[in-house]
Amino acid sequence: MLKNKTILITGGTGTFGKAALRFLLKKNPKKIIIFSRDELKQFEMQIEFLKFEKIIRYFIGDIRDFDRIDYALRNVDFVIHAAALKQVPASEYNPTETIKTNINGADNIIRASIKNDVSKVMALSTDKAANPINLYGATKLCADKLFVAANNISGGRTTKFSITRYGNVFGSRGSVVDFFKNKIKNNEKFIPITDFKMTRFWLNINKGVEFTIKNLIRMQGGEIFIPKIPSIKILDLAFALKKNVKVKEIGLRPGEKLHEILLPSDSSHHSIEFKDYYIIAPEFNFNKPINFFKDTQTKEKGKKVKKGFEYNSLNNNDYFNPTQIKKLLSG
């Protein structure tokens, strides 16, 4: 399905964008467009991926700028929307800028994709969009709603929009892993942990990319795809990085949750479980009926989740212990 197709990745110079590029290059695409604001990182990527210069294009632009994204989307088949302001504390202190990027930017992607007859748009979301308590999560929830509703406003056009939602990505830029490593490297007295009971969903970046691309292929429009992934205790992460390291509980930061949710109980009445993932189906009907209970690629049949079911990092059936975390870190 990806062979001889043109794919644009917003936020293409980020951790996800670079991993997605490596994955997509193996699928014999016609062209991959890296769309981002950072000219230095684009230059560095041009050097790193020099042997693929005939099929990779680099667009400097901001998703806040409709005209620029409109121009970039000409003759594009698929869009993977990964651009966002995602740091929770920064979003709390810079709310207007976060809204401009995460909400207005999403709206620009939608309008430009419809205008240019893009076939499919897959937007990345976050566990912080489920029952959000911080501005970042609230803006991503709003963006999710925009992408779902876009399937109804596309009118006679064929553009489809869906969402992939997952938790913390191991190895992503600015992650807690790097923060802890720096504390250990600098021989600081202790590692600060906001709460010893804190849990998080955990996902390897390459698995995150693979899941997202699978969703791009099997999407029908309007679904929120959620992978079944392990949880970790943040305290275990610290001990996996250095056994018997000193830790100190410092209290939750502004906008921070103790545990994260991927599928809230309020969405259980329209959620479907498959072997390796869940989907939250749209609550309203589109222009034509869609059977969300069947995986379009594997033909697997899904089943409705129980009423009131919630998929959260605390009550997850799959936990990584310190040994497993250490193995992941070394791999």
Q: What is the DSSP string of 155-207?
A: TTS--EEEEEEE-EEET-TT-HHHHHHHHHHTT-S-EEES-TT-EEEEEEHHH
- How far does Cα 111 stand from its chain's mean position? 21
218: which residues sit within 8 A by CB, 6+ positions away? 295, 296, 297, 298
Q: Is 74 within a domain?
A: yes
Q: Is 188 within a domain?
A: no
Q: Is 239 within a domain?
A: no
- Confirm if 88 and 257 have CB atoms less than 8 A apart: no
Residue with token string 């929307």 = 81
Q: Is 48 within a domain?
A: yes
Asked whether the whole model's pTM tops 0.85, one would answer yes
Predicted confidence pLDDT, tens digits, the chain (331 residues): 899 999 999 999 999 999 999 999 999 999 999 999 999 999 999 999 999 999 999 999 999 999 999 999 999 999 999 999 988 889 999 999 999 999 999 999 999 999 999 999 999 999 999 999 999 999 999 999 999 999 988 766 789 999 999 988 876 766 788 889 899 999 999 999 999 999 999 998 999 999 999 999 999 999 999 999 999 999 999 999 998 899 999 999 888 899 999 999 999 999 999 999 999 999 887 777 889 999 999 999 999 999 999 999 999 999 998 888 888 777 6
Q: Is 243 within a domain?
A: no
Residue 288 is classified by DSSP as S
**Count of domains observed in the chain:** 1
Distance CA 46, CA 32 (A): 12
Burial of 62 (0-12, 13-18, 19+ CB in 10 A): middle
Amino acid letter at 244?
N
Range of the domain at 271: 6-174+203-228+264-311
Per-residue pLDDT at 169: 84
Q: Residue 120: how many CA atoms within 13 Å on its side-chain side? A: 22
Q: Is 331 within a domain?
A: no
Clarify whether 30 is annotated catalytic.
no
194: which residues sit within 8 A by CB, 6+ positions away? 234, 249, 250, 251, 252, 253, 256
Q: Is 295 within a domain?
A: yes
Cα distances (angstroms) measured from residue 191 to each of 39, 182, 246? 34, 10, 6
Tell me which of 86, 120, 128, 160 is the catalytic residue: 128
Q: Is 240 within a domain?
A: no
Per-residue pLDDT at 331: 61
**Residue 62 sits in a domain of what CATH number?**
3.40.50.720
